[in-house]
Structure 1
Amino acid sequence: MASYQSSHHQMQNQRVSLTVQLVRRAHTYTIAVFQIIIMLINEQRQITSYHEQIMYSPKRDCGTKYNLYLLYPNQPKNSFANYSIHIDVFDKITLTYLGSWYLSIPFQFLPVNRIATQLFIQATTMISPLCPLFCGEHGRCVEYINKKFLYFCQCNEGYS
């Protein structure tokens, strides 16, 4: 029996199992639809090639919990690499960027991690005037919604 379990675990994809519940803070009478993009990032804040998307309508999806699997870019996972989760939210109708969240992945040595979180969608974009990163002419420095004093550079539209 032990040999079966061992070979079974080797065949599993190493991944992060993420359960997300979205909550909209602003209560307006307009119909809102949000595009949520969820990505694994490495310790240099570079985006891996794998991502997931959610289209969220508060009126329709209130209380919904989304279960997602984020696969590590290399199988088996590089045991020396550390990853985190970066989540962006956009207004789907106006294409306005509203913010980003940063989620740490605990126990990086495990082949499968489970994370559950609630994300609160802000009514407006929060741009920090005190951002310490220089993001060049075609980028801007953004502070994560849920991590004060943690910043990243976001490219302007049309740049990468």
Structure 2
Amino acid sequence: PSINHDHPFPQDGEYIYYLCDNDKNNTQPKKYNILFQSICNRLPELLPKLINEQNETDETECEYWACNNLHTRCNCFWNCENGEDEFHCDTSLTLCENEKIQNKMILQKRSENEIQCYRGLPVRIWLNNDESTFICFCPHSYYGSRCEYQNQRVSLAIKLQAYSDSRQTLFEIIIQLIDDSNEKIIHSHVQFTYLFARDCETIFYYYLLYSTRSKNQTKTYSIHVDIYEKQPLNYRGSLWFPINNTFLPVHRFDLTIAIPPADFNSEHCLKHECIHGKCIKYHDSQQDKSFCLCYPQWSGQYCTIP
């Protein structure tokens, strides 16, 4: 079969592999002007421009880009991974945005009894009619009395790709952080829907946390992805991504997930003795990896746990 070079992804004569209709040369940038905060954020947004015989975008030469600068200094957000842009800032003042007065910035003096929540939200708790205290509501990626500690986690940036026969199909995507124990413990998971017409340019960002603090270094962990058609709930396939450097407190993944075509048949295998399930090979796995897809009400590595 011939190759149609008008499409950014090759075809095999039957299926065209693509992201969006206006994608060209496997790139997504379409903008000519972007916000300052978008520079060097690992997501190209500017069209390449030839400068000194080099194609330059907002993501080139980022090794020379200072994360601690006039625009990021003391903006209550860690633009530097080590938080150096927020060191030695005046914490006695906080900037508050009030939409009722057309987003004017108001300076509000902190209460003497209010604690500083480094990465959380301070909330006043009333103990009785006269006494109150402040506590910190932490995001799920941080913990501690002042949200000063990072949770060990996996940070995901996910881009989905679809074949041409699936552009009208609504998919249910389930992503799990699992370990290699006999119980196949699911430490955390996220679940969302994907529709090509709505999400072809969307990058999904999620955190997956380990169920214990700190994580068990004797275990190996991986990302398990299940893909279903939403209506009806037909199984399309699964993908597997190993987590190699488990010593890292935060493991970052930039994943490109290819949804199998409509006529894709999950390849069965006999490698595992799946007692109450069936052995399925992962789609596009480079290691001939397989797993047990358990029947309802069963779980575990070999579907032996009711």
TM-score range, shorter chain: 0.7 to 0.9
Q: Which residue of 2 aligns with 1:150?
A: 289
Residue identity in the other structure for 1:48: I
Shift of 1:48: 1.7
Query: What whole-Å deviation, never above 9, does each CA across 1:57-87 have from its counterpart, x for those lacking one?
Result: 1111002111110001111122222210101
- Find the residue that maps to 2:197 and give its secondary structure: helix
User: Which of the residues 33, 40, 43 maps onto 2:177?
Assistant: 40
Write out aligned runs for 1:126-145 (5 A).
126-136=265-275, 138-145=276-283
Structure with larger RCO (C-alpha < 8 A, sep 6+): 1
Shift of 1:91: 0.2
Write out aligned runs for 1:4-19 (5 A).
11-19=149-157
Q: Which residue of 1 aligns with 2:260?
A: 122
Bigger Rg over Cα: 2
Calculate the aligned-residue CA RMSD, in Å: 2.5
Write out aligned runs for 1:1-160 (5 A).
11-27=149-165, 31-44=168-181, 46-123=184-261, 124-136=263-275, 138-148=276-286, 149-157=288-296, 159-160=298-299
Structure 1 pair 134–60 and aligned structure 2 pair: CA distance change class (3 A): same
Whole-Å Cα distance in 1 between the matches of residues 166 and 189 of structure 2?
Answer: 30
Structure 1 pair 16–158 and aligned structure 2 pair: CA distance change class (3 A): same
Whole-Å Cα distance in 2 between the matches of residues 115 and 74 of structure 1?
Answer: 21
Whole-Å Cα distance in 1 between the matches of residues 218 and 148 of structure 2?
Answer: 18
Task: Name whichever structure is richer in strand by fraction.
Answer: 1
Whole-Å Cα distance in 2 between the matches of residues 113 and 9 of structure 1?
Answer: 20
Whole-Å Cα distance in 2 between the matches of residues 19 and 74 of structure 1?
Answer: 23
Number of residue pairs the alignment of both structures matches: 154
Q: Percent identity?
A: 35
Whole-Å Cα distance in 2 between the matches of residues 107 and 159 of structure 1?
Answer: 31
Flag structure 2 segments of 5+ consecutive residues without an equivalent. Answer: 1-86, 88-143, 300-306
Whole-Å Cα distance in 1 between the matches of residues 176 and 186 of structure 2?
Answer: 7
Structure 1 pair 57–122 and aligned structure 2 pair: CA distance change class (3 A): same
Residue identity in the other structure for 1:44: S
Flag structure 1 segments of 5+ consecutive residues without an equivalent. Answer: none
Does the Cα contact within 8 Å between 2:280 and 2:292 map onto a contact in 1? yes
Structure 1 pair 122–77 and aligned structure 2 pair: CA distance change class (3 A): same
